[in-house]
């Protein structure tokens, strides 16, 4: 299968998923009170944002599929043993998150799990992954704790302001 056909299939799937979420799933399964003063705190806001971003991603994949070559994609050189090892490491990371969340808090556990996952999947951009592993959980913490006023679970050892 070529890179172009993979992009077309992924783009079409993302557009279809976004349409299902926007037209059926969110209106029928997400309920929200009508008297919410801040739209960002509405239970409908973030699902709609995610569905919209999914649709934009699908449209982008379809738009850039015309620039991709019709050459076959590079074959996967991993053995089945290496794939199962990565799967086991991902399960270990998930158990680590569940174990570490009450002890270290959500922010620190997410930082560690983000970087561990980036290295298990062998990212080609380790520096960007390390920076994102630190900045994304901190930014989300400061938004939810200080802007939205929602308490984020803190750990037993280090507490964020």
pLDDT tens-place string over residues 90-111? 999 999 999 988 888 888 999 9
Average pLDDT over every residue of 17-44: 89
Contact (CB, 8 A) for 111 and 117: no
Whether residues 94 and 50 fall in one domain:
no
Residue 103 lies in a domain: yes
Same structural domain, 10 and 49? yes
pLDDT band at residue 43 using 50, 70 and 90 as cut-offs: confident
Q: Are residues 60 and 112 in the same domain?
A: no
Work out how many domains the chain is built from and give that number. 2
Structure tokens at 53: 């971003």
* 160 in a structural domain: no
In a domain, 115, yes or no: yes
Claim to verify: residue 95 and residue 50 sit in the same structural domain? no
Please, where are the H alpha helices in the chain? 3-20, 26-29, 45-65, 80-104, 106-120, 126-142
- Structural domain for 121, as ranges: 80-147
Beta bridge partners of 154: 105
85 and 135 housed in the same domain = yes
Residue 102 lies in a domain: yes
Residues 89 and 138 in one domain: yes
With respect to residue 55, please indicate whether it lies within any of the assigned structural domains.
Answer: yes
Q: How do residues 63-96 score in pLDDT, each as one tens digit? A: 998 787 666 656 666 688 888 999 999 999 999 9
Rounded Cα distance between 133 and 112, Å, is 7
Q: Is 154 a domain residue?
A: no
CA atoms within 13 A on the CB side of 98: 5
pTM assigned to the model:
0.59
Query: Does residue 123 lie in a domain region?
Result: yes
100 and 132 both lie in a single domain: yes
């Amino acid at each position: 299968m070529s890179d172009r056909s993979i992009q077309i299939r992924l783009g079409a799937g993302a557009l279809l998923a976004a349409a299902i979420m926007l037209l059926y799933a969110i209106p029928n399964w997400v309920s929200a009170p009508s008297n919410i003063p801040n739209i960002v705190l509405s239970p409908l806001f973030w699902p709609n944002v995610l569905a919209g971003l999914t649709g934009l991603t699908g449209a982008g994949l379809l738009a850039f599929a015309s620039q991709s070559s019709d050459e076959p994609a590079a074959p996967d050189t991993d053995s089945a043993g290496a794939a199962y090892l990565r799967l086991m490491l991902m399960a270990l990371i998930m158990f680590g998150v569940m174990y570490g969340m009450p002890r270290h808090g959500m922010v620190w556990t997410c930082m560690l799990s983000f970087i561990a996952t980036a290295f298990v999947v062998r990212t080609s951009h380790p520096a960007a992954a390390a920076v994102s592993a630190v900045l994304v959980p901190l930014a989300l913490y400061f938004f939810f704790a200080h802007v939205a006023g929602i308490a984020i679970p803190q750990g037993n050892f280090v507490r964020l302001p």
